[in-house]
Structure 1
Amino acid sequence: MKNNLLKNAILFCLVILASCDQGFEELNKDPNAVTADQFNPSFLLTTAQLKSAQGDHNTSLYYGTCFVQQMASLSNVGIFDYHGDKYVYHKGNNEALWNATYGNTAKLIEDIIIQTEGDADFNNLHQMARIWRTIIYHRLTDMYGDIPYFESSRGYYDQIYKPKYDAQKDIYLDMLSELEDAVSKLDATKNNFSEADIAYNGDIAKWKKLGNSMMLRLGMRLSKVEPATAETWVIKAVTAGVFTDNADNLMISGTDPTGTSSDLANGMSWTISVGTRSPGKIAATFFDFLNDNNDPRLKHTVAVYTDPTNISTKNTDPAIQKGLPNGLDRQTLEADPSYNPDSPGQEHQYSGVNRSVYAKLDGPRMFITNAEVQYMMAEAAVRGWISGDAAAYYETGVSEAMKMLQQYDQSATITDQEITAYLTANPFVGTSNMEAALEQINTQYWAATFLNGYEAFSNVRRSGYPVLTPINYPDNETGGLFPGRLRYPDNEPVLNVENYNAAVSSQGADNYITHVWWDVAN
């Protein structure tokens, strides 16, 4: 009797459980969840591209442009901006690029790559993401050195919450291989995801040029540390096809001209635009280079603002323009020969960025340009790595660098006659003296990367040109030596202590004078 009752009870439970299970999956579904077949990962590309031009710009502007003496400031220790002018440390802006990359863009790109892996329908998106990955990681490793790369942004997928730091050499070799493979797999016959691509609107030919031009940049970065490797990759890039016109330039523009949302405006422009933010000043080193060579870019680049918060106070009269020497503060300024005690104000007598051109909130932020590509090919020709006329590459670089200003604003148009006059007065020095040629090419590269602090700082370290006199402001981070990198964020030796210590042991002290792997120019 008991056995029959037990059997009946078990049977009843099984029937109940079976009937409940029929609705169990539906009851446990999140009605707000987005499934793989509902979500298009191309939307992540749009955000990643926009965020690549946002959130990090203070590191580029406040450190990079000042390190290379394009920008200057009277700010001293403790002030929140332009710290590179005096080689001083500011936690927030020293870490801005690191935090913006790992906290946002790197994760977005990793999501695209993983979600589209092996899916033929998303082939081009997958390759675009791989190329974009090199864009965000190469500037990160150039500024800090060894960084988490292979295990980066793998917390959700692989439960790696404390990624190891990878050697910059390994990172570079992987990025170069990634570029080569991604470019080879881009396919113009497949979906180009034009609706998501705010850089090239899905133009596959331009994406291939971008990948190859990045390959050229990364290959050239190795010119001193591993010249044979550099030559191999430079040849590959040029043979495959790099930028040929300013229409190829990689730039991301802001989408809010009003500036009501700093997340949608051009981040760099937002920082140097009118308002309560300090716009900084044009460094005397940069100003003098343009002025002494009668460079037509000068009239579009500089302006004096007697009221820094009001763009209408702009004065572009060449007679009153002058650059601010780096390394001065409001106390030491008045002893400098450049200072005029009869002029109103202190810093307001020095030229600032012409905001009508460079501070448009919906204007572009440049990542890599045809001018840079032409200068790199000029250098490669001088070194004998590629065929072609170094002088022709150089002249095209100058021309494209000047015409590029139109992409910021049509008011900054430089005529063909002005360009011809400049090249006549500043001809290519020729290839018989290699060092003189490299100096001329890379000094022009420095001018062409105005406000791209990451690239300007990297190429000055790589090439050694232009030769800059280091700053020795009291209590600076380098003891008066030219900086080699930025420090890791303060929380790394706490949150990722084992891997941080391994990186410091391998690379060198975590300070501003340790050099990154490829930087053997100084």
Structure 2
Amino acid sequence: MKKYFNQMIPAVLISMLIFSSCKKFGDVNIDPHKSSGLDPALQLANVQLRYSGNFEVNEKVSTILTMPFIQHTAGIYLVKTGQFYIKNRGYTSALWNVNYGNDILNIVDAVDRSQGDPSKTNINAACRIMKVLLFARMTDLYGDIPYKQAGKGYKDGVIRPEFDTQETIYNDFFKELTEASAQLDPSKDQLKGDLFYNGNIVAWKKFANSLRLRYAMRLVKRNPEKAKAEAQAAFAAGLISSHEDICKLMHENVQSKDDDVRGNSVAVTINSAELPPKVTTTLIAQFVKTNDPRLKNMIRCYTEVNSKPFDRMDVTDYVVAEIGYVGVKPASYTYNDWLNTITVQIPGFGEKRITNAEQKAEFANYLIKSDAPFLHFTHAEVEFLLAEANIRFGLNMGGDAKSHYEKGIAAAMKQLSLFQGAPPITETQVMNFINSNKLIPGKEIEMINEQLWLALIFNGQEAYANWRRTDFPKLIPGVMAESNSKEIPRRLEYPLEETEQNAANVAKAVQALGGLDDWTKRVWWDKQ
């Protein structure tokens, strides 16, 4: 993988330079087909890397906004915008501004330039699937967005892209994923440079169908009949069904910033913070109430050493012996709810004083390394979605809700083995957990989605979307005096630049929200 990264990056950077002149969506007034020499495979690889490797987007969308929204992390100044709902248009606009001017421009162009070319059948299908993944992140966070006209060239710079309704966009997602899955053919062109599945066409089919299941389940509030039909069709087409099918990107041990996208930028934003964020009391309480073996595996306490996370001493066992696992409350900073310094004896070291901040837990070092994998779609997520679909729709898709729930738990614990240095979770621990946390009649959907909330740690935007569509787990808003909202935001507001330069089209989208562009408004699929 390292060799491949080193060979590919120069070509990808060339691709990035070609498109980087259009930094804002409103400035995309060139014909993308003028760059006739670009290889769609390189464009796909570029977008794959940037999805989890772009620091600008992932610092703001994941670390600052969605992970605190969803109460995975808390406690430090960096995450206060998401933790306490303090509006910052620069943060909420980052994904829009970066994606439309680069990633969406690239992937739309890649789809267009490979369309109808019999020598590029599979690369076209993969690009169509990646296009759905990119736009889903956008529409799930903002609501109605430019879709059909996005990434297209405009000769007249006055023309601004129309917004498509989220319902229309989702309908096209189902069409695109269905067609792309059917189009993929192992006997046709090779997917050279593919960073998700190394060109495995069968795996790409499963990924496309699994995305179809994910987006089908987005509709359970708004259109349960369509949700049911699309979920059944996705299952019939073939889903991610094992650990080997997971869609992931294995990153390099690089502190990715600016145009270097080789490292996992979600991890980089955490491990490069002056102090890494803490985990919430909400997260710890979920682990504790179910006697989850992942608590000790994933949540640790460290000494503070010159802002270098990997030089810190692990003092978890000493802290836990004194006070148990302590996180930060959703409505607190690390320095609130002050803990007095404790003194412990560490073999081979001697006496050690452990401060308030050091007693409050955070994610284990192995999870926040720059070469940590980014998990786009896991076997665990598929199983939990199938379990929920079986409960909601009275279906039996490859097993009952109980069997899918149990497979989901086992898969969620196994996926941690993808992280280098992860302590093992034994089969006995998995079975003990399953036997102690059986589905309770009437609480199945809540229990399933509590487990999915855990499985989606470090995929903040997806955890946030899943919480909004189900309202599980039950979260108490982290409101402080400085908060701009007394409830957890349900979407991101449109960028000011877009509201100024594309006012008429933005106004139509705002009307669909009830006349106010506010982050407490709900996107289409989040309304009943």
TM-score bracket, shorter-length normalisation: 0.7 to 0.9
Q: Compared with structure 1, are the counterparts of its residues 74 and 201 closer, same or farther at alpha carbon in structure 2 (3 Å cutoff)?
A: closer
TM-score of the two chains, using structure 2 as the length reference:
0.85
Larger radius of gyration: 1
For 1:353, the equivalent position in structure 2 comes to 363
Give the structure 2 partner of residue 487 of structure 1.
493
What's 1:314 paired with?
314
Compared CA separation, residues 234 and 35, structure 1 to 2 (3 A): closer
Correspondent of 2:389 among 380, 387, 390 = 380
User: How much has 1:476 moved relative to structure 2?
Assistant: 1.9
- 8 Å contact kept, 1:395–1:428: no
* 1:512 and 2:509 correspond: no
Change (3 A) 1:294 1:199: same
From 481, 484, 493, the counterpart of 1:477: 484
SS in 2 for 1:154: coil
| Residue number in structure 2 paired with 1:69 | 71
- Could you tell me which of 328, 335, 344 is aligned with 2:332? 328
**Distance in 1, Cα, partners of 2:265 & 2:158:** 31
- Residue identity in the other structure for 1:62: I
* In 2, Cα distance between equivalents of 1:376 and 1:477: 33
* TM superposition shift of 1:39: 4.2
CA distance in structure 1 between the partners assigned to 2:102 and 2:198 by the alignment: 22
Q: Measured at CA, do residues 489 and 258 of structure 1 come closer, stay the same or move farther in structure 2, by a change above 3 Å?
A: closer
Equivalent residues of 2:256, 2:265 under 8 A apart: no
Q: Partner of 1:222 in structure 2? A: 219
Matched AA of 1:418? Q
- 1:503 paired residue among 492, 504, 509: 509
Tell me the equivalent position of 2:58. Answer: 57
Does the CA contact (< 8 Å) of 1:86 and 1:472 recur in 2? yes
Letter of the structure 1 residue corresponding to residue 500 of structure 2: V
SS in structure 1 of the partner of residue 53 of structure 2: coil
**Counterpart Cα distance in 2 of 1:230 and 1:64:** 25
Where structure 2 has 5 or more consecutive residues not aligned to the other structure, the ranges are: 1-32, 343-353
- Spell out the pairing of 1:48-127 with structure 2 (5 A cutoff): 48-55=47-54, 56-58=57-59, 59-75=61-77, 80-127=78-125
Decide whether aligned partners of structure 1 residues 34 and 170 sit closer, same or farther in structure 2, where only a CA change above 3 A counts: closer
Question: Where in structure 2 are the equivalents of 1:42-53 lying within 5 Å?
Answer: 42-53=41-52
Distance 2:100 2:278 in 1: 31
8 Å CA contact 2:84, 2:482 repeated in 1: no
Cα deviation, residue 84, structure 1: 1.1
Look up the match of 2:286.
289
| Deviation of 1:157 (Å) | 8.1
Match of 1:397 in 2: 408
Q: Confirm whether residue 418 of structure 1 aligns to residue 424 of structure 2.
A: no
Instruction: Indicate which of 434, 455, 467 corresponds to 1:448.
Output: 455
Change beyond 3 A, Cα 1:425–1:157: farther
Contact kept in structure 1, 2:253 and 2:369, CA below 8 Å: no
- Residue type of the partner of 1:54? G
Work out whether residues 69 and 83 of structure 2, in 8 Å CA contact, stay in contact via their aligned partners in 1.
yes
Shift of 1:507: 2.1
Change (3 A) 1:85 1:53: same
Counterparts of 2:390 and 2:401 in 1: how far apart (Å)? 5
Alpha-carbon distance change, 259 to 226 in structure 1, aligned in 2, over 3 angstroms? closer
Q: Report the residue type matching 2:184 in the other structure.
A: L
Give the Cα–Cα distance (whole angstroms) in 2 for the partners of residues 39 and 413 of structure 1: 44
Q: What's the counterpart of residue 24 of structure 1?
A: none
Match in the other structure for 2:190: 192
Alignment of 1:205-244 (within 5 A): 205-244=202-241
Q: C-alpha distance in 2, partners of 1:122/1:81?
A: 43
1:278 to partner: Cα distance: 3.7
Corresponding pairs, count:
471
- 1:269 corresponding residue in structure 2: 267
| Residue of structure 1 equivalent to 2:139 | 141
Distance 2:495 2:456 in 1: 26
User: Any idea what the Cα deviations from partners look like across 1:429-452, whole Å, max 9, x if unmatched?
Assistant: 2xxx3x411111111111111121
* Bigger shift: residues 257-266 or 221-230: 257-266
How far 1:276 moved relative to its partner? 4.5
Partner amino acid, structure 2, of 1:495: Q
**Further displaced range: 389-398 or 304-313:** 304-313
* One-letter amino acid matched to 1:316: T
Number of the residue aligned with 2:19: none
Aligned to 2:23: none
Q: Find the aligned partners of 2:467 and 2:209 in 1 and give their Cα distance.
A: 22
* Residue 263 of structure 1: how far off its partner (Å): 2.6
Query: Displacement, 1:516?
Result: 0.7
Q: Does 1:365 align with 2:369?
A: no
2-structure distance, mates of 1:98, 1:259: 20
Shift of 1:399: 0.1
